[in-house]
Structure 1
């Protein structure tokens, strides 16, 4: 399952992304975690030492390499120069799974709290004033577009704050979006914005109240987000220890907060996979981007990249493996 954590800056989405990643990995599940926030803090929240994080190759800094890998032998893509962040896979594309053979994980991932951690990367001096953060996140979007995840496998993505992911089709790439909201007007404001943008696109949003101290806080959230409120995470000494740089075992997490993580996992597991819808939405946003900017930027007919006979899923993954094998 592909899971996004979104919310306003300071809501606690990175902390909950890390806790959920740890919870899944501790239960023996296969987990990949992606730091797709402009403020790259997920690795630190997972307890990765600063020197290891500094050596982590950023996805956003190796976009051409990732495109070349995922393009595979797809005859509809003339070259990586015409491959954009929304380019959908087709027959001949290299599809990915969450096995140890995943070449993106091997090249760009490190082990963190039992999961594979990857990062889109921060702004560099060369980016300042000339690039937007979507150029970094585009690598994560391509990864998700080409990933076939199975039962008991999870990808957790810590999104950039606010509603910035709506600049492309990235927000449709997830089975569930957990919108982390504090019991404040600003906290629920991002939910309204997210819900308005996502309303017509089949995006499943579940609000997780965070820093909830009492019934009045929960009632406030319920008043403003209604049935979208799925669970609440209370104030936590455990989290405060994390924020100070400690990383105690999850067994020390408050029982009610541990129950919230378990409920979140169960809620995700209850969502049915719909590979046809996943494929259709990817194509839809690729064609939108092609018409709006990407066609002119590349000078290519990007609509021709769409393979009308292709549907993502386990069968497509098996065909990709049979054709391309595993890169060394």
Structure 2
């Protein structure tokens, strides 16, 4: 099946590095994969191409939100205009649905191969945004993209999310089949774990903890005591990763990664491959968050009853493509 994976965690936990390692692991196996940089600090490109000083990145998706809305609204009669479309507007009959890495304007313009992995970026939070916008406004384009994406069997979307509990500041967290929380073996490293688990459990989203920068049995025991059975696997402190962060050329050889860390990536792959996509549940979550946003602010801002954008007879998925 197709799998959408989010990497979350405290800032500095190594979630961007692990997002890149896993995306490269999938791509190296020949699997169709899209990596998405959804962090306010846009460092995924550097992590995907550690041997390059300034890897080329695609035009960011966030500033292109009006064009994204115009494309995805399609001929959906429930959307009166692209301006009335908000980040949570769910697809309906007539909406433009996308295939992963398909031949459409969005993928053609906003995806570039970096380090052998197709990459999409949201864009940086810059000075022009200070005092007038929040970073989640940039993530709105990604939320709409995932809402209109019909990914197929054996395809993967890997998203490096914002740090800390900010990942739950929008409905984007319900767009994933699996969430990996990257945690260092420290109190701060596991501080957001219970928040993530509590929020995710409400929506049936599985959160698994991936220990990172583990240096010995004491570190591993600490993680087990803190998160229990939610600890899926762990990565040890990595000379290979440090070399990658320093831009050494030998890091382009994936087999040079430490055996325990290669094993951990295999565990992540086996775990996501065991997930089952429930399109109806995914759509229900999308509709719920859309109605929340409509009532809270969007109806007033647009001057419309945005509950009318919900098509009660539509469920996204492979059947909807026909």
Rounded Cα–Cα distance in structure 2 between residues aligned with 1:25 and 1:74: 35
Deviations 1:193-232 (Å, cap 9, x if unpaired)?
1112222111110100000111211111111111111000
Using the size of structure 1 for normalisation, the TM-score is: 0.94
Instruction: Give the conservation status (yes or no) of the 8 Å contact 1:181–1:210.
Output: yes
How far does residue 115 in structure 1 lie from its aligned partner after superposition?
2.1
**Corresponding residue for residue 305 of structure 1:** 309
**Corresponding residue for residue 324 of structure 1:** none
Counterpart secondary structure, 1:271 = coil
Deviations 1:90-143 (Å, cap 9, x if unpaired)?
111111111441432211110123321010000122111211001111111111
**Residue 93 (structure 1) aligned to one of 92, 95, 102:** 95
Rounded Cα–Cα distance in structure 2 between residues aligned with 1:104 and 1:256: 38
User: Which runs of 5 or more structure 1 residues have no equivalent in the other structure?
Assistant: 320-328
How far does residue 314 in structure 1 lie from its aligned partner after superposition?
0.4
**Corresponding residue for residue 45 of structure 2:** 43
Q: Does residue 162 of the first structure (1) align with residue 164 of the second (2)? A: yes
Using the size of structure 2 for normalisation, the TM-score is: 0.96
Counterpart secondary structure, 2:78 = coil
**Residue 61 (structure 1) aligned to one of 60, 63, 67:** 63
**Corresponding residue for residue 140 of structure 1:** 142
Rounded Cα–Cα distance in structure 2 between residues aligned with 1:51 and 1:17: 19
Instruction: Give the conservation status (yes or no) of the 8 Å contact 1:37–1:160.
Output: yes
**Corresponding residue for residue 252 of structure 1:** 256
Rounded Cα–Cα distance in structure 2 between residues aligned with 1:203 and 1:64: 30
**Corresponding residue for residue 21 of structure 1:** 23
How far does residue 192 in structure 1 lie from its aligned partner after superposition?
1.2
Instruction: Give the conservation status (yes or no) of the 8 Å contact 2:77–2:94.
Output: yes
Rounded Cα–Cα distance in structure 1 between residues aligned with 2:269 and 2:104: 24
Q: Does residue 265 of the first structure (1) align with residue 274 of the second (2)? A: no
User: Which runs of 5 or more structure 2 residues have no equivalent in the other structure?
Assistant: none
Q: Does residue 286 of the first structure (1) align with residue 290 of the second (2)? A: yes
How far does residue 50 in structure 1 lie from its aligned partner after superposition?
5.6
Instruction: Give the conservation status (yes or no) of the 8 Å contact 2:150–2:318.
Output: yes
Deviations 1:212-253 (Å, cap 9, x if unpaired)?
111211111111111111000111111001111233211111
Deviations 1:27-82 (Å, cap 9, x if unpaired)?
000010110000000001111746553x6211111100001111111110011111
Rounded Cα–Cα distance in structure 2 between residues aligned with 1:297 and 1:123: 23
Count of aligned positions: 317
Q: CA RMSD in A?
A: 1.3
Rounded Cα–Cα distance in structure 2 between residues aligned with 1:263 and 1:52: 29
